[in-house]
């Protein structure tokens, strides 16, 4: 048997980092958090990382898997996006009211960015212009953004003058000043009419850590190849996502992030893929490409999830395709507690699994729960218990079908991992 607690430290189970820095109002109450990409416990933007890579990794690892509301304690979020990410419509992977999108000071293709921001504004998205320096190139965007961020300059009268000029021209735009390091600077800017404040005087960026599972590089490459065709085949996308726990977890969370329906319940990977639709799937894959994510070899824990998933699919196939696909998802999700270091009840809620799948995972209830229990009994070599469970699931069947299903499932797990390792 593979012990999920023992192998939870396998190669592609990693600790991820993100920083958040609060933005304060004039009364020094927290107004929002700016989310900042980090790749280690060193609380600084990593040297050699491009804006595109930082955007992709922030989206793929933090926003898709953990969720904005958890990272900001349900406060407003500010997120930096590269020009490429904006032009690729990355904001559409989020609900319009979930975050303020920051246009970074290094942005290029201003005309194209302006057109994209104009279109996204019509859909309800909110924007901030980061580190505005007064350059004329930003003029087209000044009429579109909801926030303008300035940095404290020396002498501070320069910042003061620019702030007042902007307030006169754009009275409805909120001004945020960053890099405030003293009480004196805060008071001068507050008296000048600044709306929001950010800097070490109030708080340094706070480091957050969380457990994560990276998709395999081969799975990422295969999905990129699959979605590069003009006509997207949803069944092919489903087949590729289903073979990787990291991709499955993020696809399910993406459904949750994009849905305004609080009662949405996902019961299979294919349902999640179809729900997202072609545009969102292609955007998801572009995030993958931009972030350059992926590990060379998957862990044994990933293999365990694949074996359980395929075993449940095979056992439940006589009940129809829908039941079999639901079993596959339950099997795959059953290892996420060890991967993400989260309780299963939290996972069931976070991934919109609904009562049926949730009770299967948490309490082994129903046909799905009993089949998951059967898989675990076989892993434990508890064959007397396996016989009793089979009588509940398929009363007319002999125990041979369990032997055969587990043998086929183990072959499936070996073949999937072998194909990944060969391509690594």
pLDDT digits (tens, 9 = 90+) for 218-241: 677 677 667 766 778 888 888 888
**Can you give the pLDDT at residue 48?**
65
The pLDDT value given to residue 423: 47
3-state secondary structure of 278: helix
pLDDT attached to residue 17: 78
Domain segments of the chain: what residues? Answer: 14-210, 214-423
| Residue 66: pLDDT over 70 | yes
pLDDT of 101 over the 90 cut:
yes
Give yes or no for residue 133 having a pLDDT over 70.
Answer: yes
Confidence band for 8, pLDDT divided at 50, 70 and 90: very low
Instruction: List Cβ neighbours of 388 (8 Å cut-off, separation of 6 or more).
Output: none
pLDDT at 297: 46
pLDDT in tens, 280-328: 888 777 666 555 444 444 567 778 888 999 999 999 999 998 899 889 8
112 pLDDT above the threshold of 80: yes
pLDDT at 359: 93
Instruction: Reply yes or no on domain 14-210 having CATH 3.20.20.450.
Output: yes
Mean pLDDT computed over 368-378: 96
Mean pLDDT value of segment 238-254: 83
Which region among 53-62, 101-110, 343-352, 391-400 has the lowest average model confidence (pLDDT)?
53-62
Q: What's 214's DSSP letter?
A: P
Cα–Cα nearest to 336, from 247, 399, 412: 247
pLDDT of residue 379: 92
The predicted pLDDT at position 1 comes to 30
Q: Strands 13-25 and 30-38, how do they pair?
A: antiparallel
pLDDT at residue 109 above 70? yes
pTM for this entry: 0.64
**Rounded distance between C-alpha atoms, residue 116 and residue 88, angstroms:** 9
Tell me if residue 145 falls in helix, strand or coil: coil
Q: Give the model's pLDDT for residue 386.
A: 95
pLDDT, residue 21, reads 92
Average the pLDDT over each of 143-157, 212-226, 256-270, 408-422 and give the range with the smallest value. 212-226
Band the pLDDT of 148: cuts 50, 70, 90.
Answer: very high
pLDDT in the model for residue 387? 95
pLDDT over threshold 50, residue 341: yes
Residue 371: which pLDDT band, with cuts at 50, 70 and 90? very high
Higher pLDDT, 8 or 424: 424
**What share of the chain has pLDDT > 70, as a percent?**
82
Hey, CA dihedral for 108, 110, 112, 114, is it positive or negative? positive
7 and 299 Cβ atoms separated by less than 8 Å: yes
Asked if residue 275 has pLDDT above 90, the reply is no
Domains 14-210 and 214-423 share a fold: no
pLDDT band at 5 (very low <50, low <70, confident <90, very high): very low
Q: Which are the contacts of 312, defined by CB distance < 8 A and separation ≥ 6?
A: 324, 327, 328, 330, 331, 368, 371, 372, 375
**352 is written with which tokens?**
């919109």
CATH, domain range 214-423: 1.10.3210.10
Cα separations in angstroms, 80 against 20, 104, 199, 213, 418: 12, 6, 17, 23, 38
Kindly provide the b/e burial profile for residues 349-360, where b requires at least 16 CB atoms within 10 angstroms of the residue's own CB: ebbbbeebbbbb
pLDDT band at 393 (very low <50, low <70, confident <90, very high): very high
Kindly tell me the sign of the dihedral angle through the C-alpha atoms of 169, 171, 174, 176.
positive
Which pLDDT belongs to residue 95? 84
Report the range of poorest mean pLDDT among 104-108, 281-285, 299-303, 387-391: 299-303
pLDDT band at 16; cut points 50, 70, 90: confident
Give the span between the Cα atoms of 161 and 220, in whole angstroms.
49
């Amino acid at each position: 048997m593979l012990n999920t607690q023992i192998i939870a430290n396998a190669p592609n189970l990693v600790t991820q980092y993100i920083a958040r820095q609060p933005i304060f109002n004039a009364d020094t109450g927290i107004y929002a958090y700016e989310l900042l990409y980090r790749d280690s416990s060193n609380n600084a933007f990593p040297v050699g990382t491009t804006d595109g890579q930082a955007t992709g990794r922030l989206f793929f690892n933090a926003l898709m898997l953990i969720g904005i509301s958890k990272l900001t304690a349900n406060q407003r979020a500010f997120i930096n996006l590269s020009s490429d990410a904006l032009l690729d419509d990355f904001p559409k992977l989020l609900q319009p009211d979930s975050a303020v999108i920051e246009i970074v000071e290094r942005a290029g293709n201003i005309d194209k960015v302006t057109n994209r921001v104009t279109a996204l504004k019509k859909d309800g998205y909110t924007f901030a212009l980061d580190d505005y320096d007064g350059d004329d190139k930003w003029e087209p965007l000044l009429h579109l953004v909801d926030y303008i961020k300035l940095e404290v300059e020396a002498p501070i009268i320069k910042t003061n003058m620019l702030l007042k000029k902007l307030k006169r021209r754009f009275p409805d735009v909120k001004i945020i000043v960053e890099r405030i390091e003293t009480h004196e600077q805060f008071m001068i800017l507050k008296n000048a009419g600044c709306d929001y404040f950010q800097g070490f005087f109030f708080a340094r960026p706070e480091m957050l850590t969380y457990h994560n599972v990276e998709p395999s590089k081969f799975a990422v490459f295969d999905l990129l190849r699959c979605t590069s065709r003009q006509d997207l085949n949803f069944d092919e996308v489903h087949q590729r996502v289903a073979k990787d726990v990291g991709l499955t977890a993020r696809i399910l969370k993406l459904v949750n992030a994009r849905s305004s329906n609080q009662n949405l319940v996902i019961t299979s990977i294919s349902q999640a893929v179809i729900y997202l639709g072609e545009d969102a799937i292609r955007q998801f894959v572009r995030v993958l490409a931009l972030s350059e994510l992926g590990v060379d070899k998957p862990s044994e824990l990933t293999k365990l999830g694949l074996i359980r998933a395929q075993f449940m699919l095979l056992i439940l196939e006589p009940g129809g395709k829908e039941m079999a696909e639901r079993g596959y998802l339950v099997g795959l999700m059953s290892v996420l507690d060890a991967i993400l270091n989260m309780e299963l009840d939290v996972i069931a809620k976070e991934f919109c699994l609904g009562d049926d799948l949730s009770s299967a995972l948490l309490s082994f209830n129903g046909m799905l729960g009993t089949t998951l229990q059967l898989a675990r009994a076989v892993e434990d070599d508890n064959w007397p218990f396996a016989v009793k469970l089979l009588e509940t699931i398929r009363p007319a069947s002999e125990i041979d079908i369990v032997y055969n299903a587990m043998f086929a499932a183990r072959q499936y797990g070996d073949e999937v991992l072998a194909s990944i390792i060969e391509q690594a």
